[in-house]
Structure 1
Amino acid sequence: MTEPPRPPGAGDPGGWPPEPTPPSAPYGSSDEPPTAPLSGAPGGAGYPPPGGYPPPQGGQPPSSGYPPPGGYPPPGGYPPGGGYPTGGAYGAPSGGYANNEDKTWVLVAHFGGAAGMFLGGGVLGWLAPLIALLARGNQSPTVRAHAVAALNFQLLWSVIALVGWILTCILIGVLIGLAAMAVGIIFGIVAGLRANEGQLYRYPMSVSFIK
């Protein structure tokens, strides 16, 4: 029995037109033949997965890599108040003085007051603080504060010493003069030592002649 005739090209591999082929499935579908996973791929899936890599948990970028917006804080964190601490009693470097010239005039005011009480017989302790005030007080608030404190103290005790020397005809007048001179010398030295450390010494038994 013979086979019935076929349409032209039917079942013939060399016929024309060729038989239609089904469309290929999209990448990643279940009909796609499995591919070998890359080394280190999570879950054995190929890279990259459809849609790209998901962000880390919480949607935040990884901790490594570029710095976050705004940069990193300095070691130890930012200082409170947004500023940086400065040394010294007056907020300036070098123990509380803006420069060595300020410190020199401060020491002149205190130690010079003590020297004036000693060399001037107890009545010239105010001279050195006055010179420091006039020479540097207008340029430096720190020098002015020290010079005014020393000047007020030495003025008071210079007046007391002067009264004592005027009353030298009486024994008590001599004692008052010597006592006033000793007070001016001792506390002038103490104030100078404190000023050398950057501190403003508050003289005891003083009045505010100058402000």
Structure 2
Amino acid sequence: MSSDDKETNNWAMILHLSMLSGLVVPLAGLVVPIVIYVLKKDSMPGLKPHGYVVFNWMISAIIYAIISMILMIVGIGFLLLAALGLVSLIFPIIGGVKASEGEVWPYPLSIKFFK
């Protein structure tokens, strides 16, 4: 593996894990991945598929959160929101580990807005 591939894999891992920054600073989990992608996409073309996976999940999670909030009226939204919170923690970690190995891992349940 060349040093360029290793650097791309490291930035891809950081891109996935950057979604967890929202646990520390509100909205950082949405802003930080976008900033990393915009700054690195031209110099590292291998980062683009990871960016698409991350952005697909971010948009999907927002849609699922809105649906969960609406369903809170009937009581099941709380369970769905808790499940969404759990997978929003697990998926970036798995994606980051896979990215460090050079693999693009599409998040399950993610709606494909970008391909």
**TM-score by structure 2 length?**
0.76
Q: Which amino acid aligns with 2:94?
A: V
After TM superposition, list the pairs within 5 Å mapping 1:134-153 onto structure 2. Answer: 134-153=38-57
Report the Cα distance in structure 1 between the residues aligned to 2:87 and 2:46, rounded to whole angstroms.
24
Structure-2 separation of matches of 1:112 and 1:189: 10
- Describe the shift of the 1:125–1:168 C-alpha distance in structure 2 as closer, same or farther (beyond 3 A): farther
Report the RMSD for the aligned CA atoms in angstroms: 2.8
1:191 to partner: Cα distance = 0.6
Q: Matched residues in 1 for 2:30 and 2:112: separation? A: 13
Map Cα deviations across residues 119-154 of structure 1 (whole Å, 9 max, x no partner).
578x87544332222111122211111111111122
Partner of 2:88: 184
Q: Please, which of 92, 109, 114 is the counterpart of residue 15 of structure 2?
A: 109
Q: Is the CA contact (8 Å cut-off) linking 1:158 and 1:180 kept in structure 2?
A: no
1:155 is aligned to 2:59: yes
Identity of aligned residues (%): 25
Q: 1:199 aligns with which of 93, 100, 103?
A: 103
Contact 2:95 2:107 in 1 (8 A): yes
**Aligned-residue offset at 1:188:** 1.0
CA distance in 2, matches of 1:202, 1:105: 17
- Name the SS of the counterpart of 1:157 in structure 2: helix
Q: Please give the per-residue CA displacement for 1:39-83, whole angstroms capped at 9, x wherever unaligned.
A: xxxxxxxxxxxxxxxxxxxxxxxxxxxxxxxxxxxxxxxxxxxxx
Q: Which moved more, 1:165-174 or 1:146-155?
A: 165-174
Instruction: Say if 2:56 and 2:110, in contact at 8 Å, map to a contact too.
Output: yes
* Between structures 1 and 2, the one with greater helix share: 2
Runs (4+) of structure 1 moved beyond 6 Å? none
Structure 2: tracts of 5 or more residues without a match: none
* 2:41 counterpart letter in structure 1: G
Q: Deviations over 1:165-186 (max 9, x none)?
A: 3554543222221111111211
Distance in 2, Cα, partners of 1:195 & 1:142: 10
- Which is bigger in relative contact order (C-alpha 8 A, separation at least 6)? 2
Q: How has the CA–CA distance of structure 1 residues 115 and 107 changed in structure 2, closer, same or farther, with 3 Å as cutoff?
A: same
In terms of Rg, which structure is larger? 1
